[in-house]
Amino acid sequence: MATDHIRYDVLARDALRGVLRRVLTDAAANGLPGEHHFFITFISTADGVKLSPRLLAQYPQEMTVILQHQFWDLVVTEERFEVGLSFGGVPERLVVPFSSIKSFFDPSVQFGLQFEAAEPVADADGVDKLPAAPAPATLTVPAAAPDIVADETPRKPSEGAEVVRLDRFRKK
């Protein structure tokens, strides 16, 4: 197999994260239109993620937040989003880099994006490479819409759901 010097996998992943960035930017400027709402799952210990110690203790690996009726001060930058949410009646401010996001799902239109980890690792020559991709996983879609959902049990998306998977391919 030929070497991909262009890194189409990285370009495609960044383009799909751009979709997520655009949707959140529009929501920050105009609110959520119609019945749209978002389930966003991210790695809670990824670089740049900011959670309270209480939330990190409760969700030490990954966390799913729901942006629907009760969120505030949504701010979106090129690299991350910040949002205010209430957890058990306690207001919290979260900072979530786009690189930490594992999945995005809008159940109102059955649309989802799933991302693999994007952390580069150095090879023996000190050159950054993306790690080999693990086998693709099923997008986790929470059944209900509480303030927060943390569920590591993979479930299939609802019947007719459109799921866009971004899988990297191993170089041979």
Q: How many other CB atoms are there within 10 angstroms of residue 45's CB atom?
A: 14
Spell out where 15-160 has E strands: 38-43, 62-67, 71-76, 80-87, 90-97, 101-106, 111-114, 121-122, 128-129, 148-149
The whole-chain average pLDDT of the chain stands at: 77
75: part of which helix (H) or strand (E)? strand 71-76
Residue 170: inside a domain, yes or no? no
Least confident of 6-15, 56-65, 123-132, 152-161: 152-161
Total number of domains constituting the chain: 1
Residue 1: inside a domain, yes or no? no
Query: Among all chains, which residue has been given the structure tokens 């991302």?
Result: 115
Residue 40: inside a domain, yes or no? yes
pLDDT band at 130 (very low <50, low <70, confident <90, very high): very low
Model pLDDT, residue 50 = 97
Q: What is the CATH number of the domain that holds 152?
A: 2.30.30.220
The strand pairing partners of 159, in sequence order, are: none
Looking at per-residue confidence, does 126 or 46 come out higher? 46
Tokens at 148, concatenated: 């927060």
Tokens at 153, concatenated: 């049990």
Q: Which domain holds residue 56?
A: 8-165
pLDDT band at 117 (very low <50, low <70, confident <90, very high): low
Residue 112: inside a domain, yes or no? yes
Residue 98: inside a domain, yes or no? yes
Residue 172: inside a domain, yes or no? no
Nearest of 23, 41, 15, 35 to residue 109 by alpha carbon? 35
Average pLDDT over residues 97-117: 92
Residue 152: inside a domain, yes or no? yes
Determine phi and psi for 43, rounding to 5 degrees.
-80, 120
Residue 126: inside a domain, yes or no? yes
